[in-house]
Amino acid sequence: MKIAVFSTKPYDQEYFEKYSSNNDYSFSFFETALNKTTANLSEGFDVICAFVNDKVDKDTIEVLANNGIRLIAMRCAGFNNVDIQSAKDHQIKVVRVPAYSPEAVAEHSVALIMTLNRKTHKAYNRVREGNFSLKNLIGFNLHGKVVGVIGTGQIGIAFCKIMKGFGCRLLAYDIAEAEALIEMGVEYLPLEEVLQQADIISLHCPLNQSTKHMINKASLKQMKAGVMIINTSRGALINTSDAIEGLTQKKIGYLGIDVYEQEENLFFEDLSESIIQDDDILRLNSFPNVLITSHQAYFTKEAMDQITVITLNNIRAFEKEEPLENEVV
């Protein structure tokens, strides 16, 4: 079976080659992202493997179908960038990796909180320059703070467990309540009440029509002044222009994001010698209380192991015409 892997970085190739040595698969690794322009690269392959910022829309899928592609294997949990209905219309199966080391993403969320709060990134740079002053490095105790968790799937659950250890009061919102969290003392409340009471809000929900831009001008008005907002889920959960306005007006006291609405034009690339054309990301970077990482929350050895193994298992099940446990339907 011939597999075309798009949006490939050296670490992707390393892990696929590590786990596929005993399989009768032929991989071709493309650095380019998958979209309607690059979809012709799929000619001669049976399966394409795509990632979070590949654009697998209707036009792309039509090209894939014409090239005989039978399976789209997403090596990530999200699939909002895939036109599922178009794939069904062209009889192309779509599979994903629904869960891979939820602790990896949860722990990165906590890292953003701790760094923004205690300003360790600034302290590190100061000390390296011989500046041992504590001026403007004051933080706050996490113990006793109210943390609002939006989305309590596996990552949200892992995040709650960590924050419980800090002695935080945990409020949660989700359309489905997790019994394990209720037993742990997490309080489920309507979204509006979570937003109103939380000192820290952490987003762990999927991107869909009901969650897109859930952090916006209206929802920000419900929050405490100086609220900390953390997003390690999907960039478009936050309306960037409204967040910038919230930062300017000091409604948002801290913003930590590992995802960004327009990240497909930026993240995973070295643009240090380029002139970045995205005014919003430049504006965000200008705020001293904003911390941005480039979609690295998932990036641990354990997560990469699981992503690769589950992706290969999905492909193997398809090849053997077995039930697709992780099919997107």
Q: Given 75, 108, 204, 263, which residue is catalytic?
A: 263
Tally of domains within the chain: 2
Provide the token pair at 65: 């179908």
Is 240 inside a domain boundary?
yes
The size of the chain, in residues, is 329
Single-letter residue type at 79: F
Catalytic status, residue 316: no
pLDDT of 42-88, one tens digit each? 999 999 999 999 999 999 999 999 999 999 999 998 898 999 999 99
Is 177 inside a domain boundary?
yes
What is d(CA 79, CA 307) in angstroms, rounded to the nearest whole number? Answer: 15
How far lies 231's CA from each of 26, 67, 206, in Å? 37, 37, 11
Residues 83 and 160 in one domain: no
Q: Which residue has the tokens 């193997």?
A: 316
CB atoms under 10 Å from CB of 197, counted, come to: 18
Residues 92 and 119 in one domain: no
* pLDDT score recorded for residue 298: 95
Is 274 inside a domain boundary?
yes
Q: Could you say which DSSP state residue 238 is in?
A: B
Q: What are phi and psi of 328, to 5 degrees?
A: -85, 120
- CATH code for the domain of 233: 3.40.50.720
Q: Are 94 and 84 in contact, with CB atoms under 8 Å apart?
A: yes
Residues 16 and 106 in one domain: no
Catalytic status, residue 263: yes
What is d(CA 119, CA 109) in angstroms, rounded to the nearest whole number? Answer: 15
* pLDDT score recorded for residue 243: 98
- How confident is the prediction for the chain on average, in pLDDT? 96
Residues 284 and 202 in one domain: yes
For 29, the 3-state DSSP assignment is strand
Residues 112 and 8 in one domain: no
Q: Above 90 in pLDDT, residue 20?
A: no
Pick from 204, 206, 207: nearest CA to 147: 204
Mean pLDDT of 305-309: 95
β-bridge mates for residue 56, sequence order:
82
* pLDDT score recorded for residue 145: 98
Residues 128 and 12 in one domain: no
Catalytic status, residue 204: no
Is 170 inside a domain boundary?
yes
Provide the token pair at 222: 């419900």
Residues 130 and 271 in one domain: yes
Is 148 inside a domain boundary?
yes
Instruction: Grade residue 24 by pLDDT with cuts at 50, 70 and 90.
Output: confident
Is 326 inside a domain boundary?
no
Residues 187 and 242 in one domain: yes
Provide the token pair at 18: 């590590």
Q: Domain limits at 87?
A: 2-100+301-319
Residues 71 and 134 in one domain: no
Residues 137 and 239 in one domain: yes
Q: Above 90 in pLDDT, residue 155?
A: yes
Residues 18 and 167 in one domain: no
Q: Given 75, 96, 108, 295, which residue is catalytic?
A: 295
Q: Could you say which DSSP state residue 308 is in?
A: H
Is 327 inside a domain boundary?
no
Q: Given 96, 108, 234, 264, which residue is catalytic?
A: 234
Residues 313 and 190 in one domain: no
Pick from 11, 202, 42: nearest CA to 116: 202
Is 286 inside a domain boundary?
yes
